[in-house]
Structure 1
Amino acid sequence: MLHILHSTHGGVPDHILRGMFAARKSVFIDLLKWDVPVLAGLYEIDQFDDQHASYLVLTDENDAHMASARLLPTTREHILGDIFPELCEVPAPRGETIYEITRFCLDRSLNARDRRTVRDTLVNAIVGHALVNDITTYTAIAEMGWYSQILAFGWDCRPLGLPHSDGTKTIAALAITIDSATPGLLDAAGIRSMSTTLPRDNRVAA
């Protein structure tokens, strides 16, 4: 099941958001050793998880987390434009129709075959979300292994600058153009969704 979650300020996350934040902690802190905030020792939540963030979350039949991504508007503070602007040769793209993809997270419980299927389903969901919400461009920052995968998805994707290294990892920024041709480009590259995935749009507190 695909859940499209729109956060509101205050309150306590529901079980789907708690599962997502716990999965983010497992991936980005426990596995990748990112130096980012942890809430209650269980959840990876930062300053961008506020009323402006939206989330696409894939869950199994029991609502357990499988994959998720956070989308941030670029008309306000966001990671590329305000924390890593040096990754862009020119000022980072901003605008009402430009959103930043962050915290693309695949649950560590997935096996290799399911991981590929779930990844491709989330990528298609991100594109579908853009098409129905008049989003024309996504920006993102990625470590080089993931960056290479993104470039190979078949969509209209371009680097925004040269990769930068902090001594432990190398990251780079990119922009993805989304239009009516994008789903076909993904399909031609073999990036296809699970056929049973249906959207559920929930407005919840984060």
Structure 2
Amino acid sequence: MLIVIPGSEVGLHPALMDRAYRFRHTIFVEQKGWEELRRPDGCERDRFDDAHAVHHICMRGEEIVGYQRLLPTTRPHLLSEVLSDLCRQPAPRGPRVFEWTRFCVAPPYREMRPRNDSPLLELAQGVVEWGRARRVDTVTVAIDWRLMLIAMQLRFSIRPLGFPKRIGRDDVVALRMSFGQDTLEAIQAARGTTEPVLAPAPWPTAA
């Protein structure tokens, strides 16, 4: 089950969010080598971690095993302000388009052929469930190009926005990814269940 914390409620869950920011730092800085994100306190946060961000945290018991963030493209976001060089033309924006960012999975759970209990599948289903509940059907992303293959298998409709660029140890590409009922069904089939992944409320013991 994913824990969803709107940016406006981060202050209600300081302990869990501190762990999430440290998880991001471990993955992106220490493992992926995105040195521009390094922080002395070991917490990876940026100017987009504001009241408009939406945080999804994937747990296995008390352990964080995955994380992702959704940002409205009607406001400044990574592809418009920081990683715009990944796009040959301005990335799509609008009320039905969100940026899917800081997607990461703990090393023991990373697989190019995700198993049915994979955090990757849970996070992907979380994006689709969250989006469909809010009339959002498109996300823009900047991810390692190898994840394109998994996304295509899960029935995301993909359009590259530019060419890959080396960031740290990753070859990162910007994509426009649309989704619908067929995407949800493909993810559910891969997970072997039609159960939703979004928790109805933040985890009560996490704050």
Taking structure 1 as the reference length, the TM-score comes to: 0.82
- Partner of 1:71, secondary structure, is strand
The separation in 2 between residues aligned to 1:86 and 1:53, in whole angstroms, is: 22
| Bigger mean CA offset, 160-169 vs 65-74 | 160-169
Maintained 8 Å contact 2:109/2:118: no
Structure with bigger helix share is 2
Give SS of 2:57's match. strand
The residue that corresponds to 1:60 in the other structure is: 60
Shift of 1:45: 1.0
Structure 2: runs of 5+ lacking an equivalent? none
Greater share of residues in strand: 1
**1:44 Cα offset (Å):** 1.1
Equivalence for 1:105: 104
Task: After TM superposition, list the pairs within 5 Å mapping 1:174-189 onto structure 2.
Answer: 174-187=175-188
Give structure 1 stretches of 5+ with no counterpart: none
**Cα contact 1:8–1:51 (8 A) shared by 2:** yes
Task: Name which structure has the greater RCO, CA cutoff 8 Å, separation 6+.
Answer: 1
Return 106-115 or 134-143, whichever deviates more: 106-115
In the TM superposition, 1:132-151 aligns within 5 A as 132-151=133-152
Equivalent residue number for residue 2 of structure 1:
2
User: Is contact 1:120–1:192 with CA below 8 Å preserved after alignment?
Assistant: no
* Cα pair distance change 1:202/1:145, threshold 3 Å: same
User: Partners in 2 of 1:164 and 1:41 — Cα distance?
Assistant: 28
Query: 1:143 offset after TM fit, Å?
Result: 2.2
TM-score by length of 2: 0.81
Aligned-residue RMSD, C-alpha? 3.1
Larger deviation, residues 175-184 vs 111-120 = 111-120
Q: Residues 17 and 109 from structure 1, CA distance in 2 versus in 1: closer, same or farther, beyond 3 angstroms?
A: farther
Asked whether the equivalents of residues 124 and 191 of structure 1 are also in contact (C-alpha less than 8 Å), the reply is no
Q: Decide whether the 8 Å contact of 2:164 with 2:174 is kept in 1.
A: yes
1:201 aligns to what SS in structure 2?
coil
State the Cα deviation string for residues 110-169 of structure 1 (Å, max 9, x = none): 476779611111111111111111112100001223344334432222212222346964
Instruction: Give the structure 2 partner of residue 41 of structure 1.
Output: 41
- Distance change (3 Å), C-alpha of 1:168 and 1:105: closer
Q: State the alpha-carbon separation in 2 of the partners of residues 108 and 37 from structure 1.
A: 19
Show the 5 A alignment for 1:11-160.
11=11, 13-38=13-38, 41-62=41-62, 64-108=63-107, 110=109, 117-160=118-161
SS in 2 for 1:75: coil
Counterparts in 2 of 1:68 and 1:111: CA distance versus 1, 3 Å: closer
Indicate the SS of the match to 2:95: coil
% of aligned pairs identical? 24
How far apart, in 1, do the equivalents of 2:42 and 2:179 lie?
35
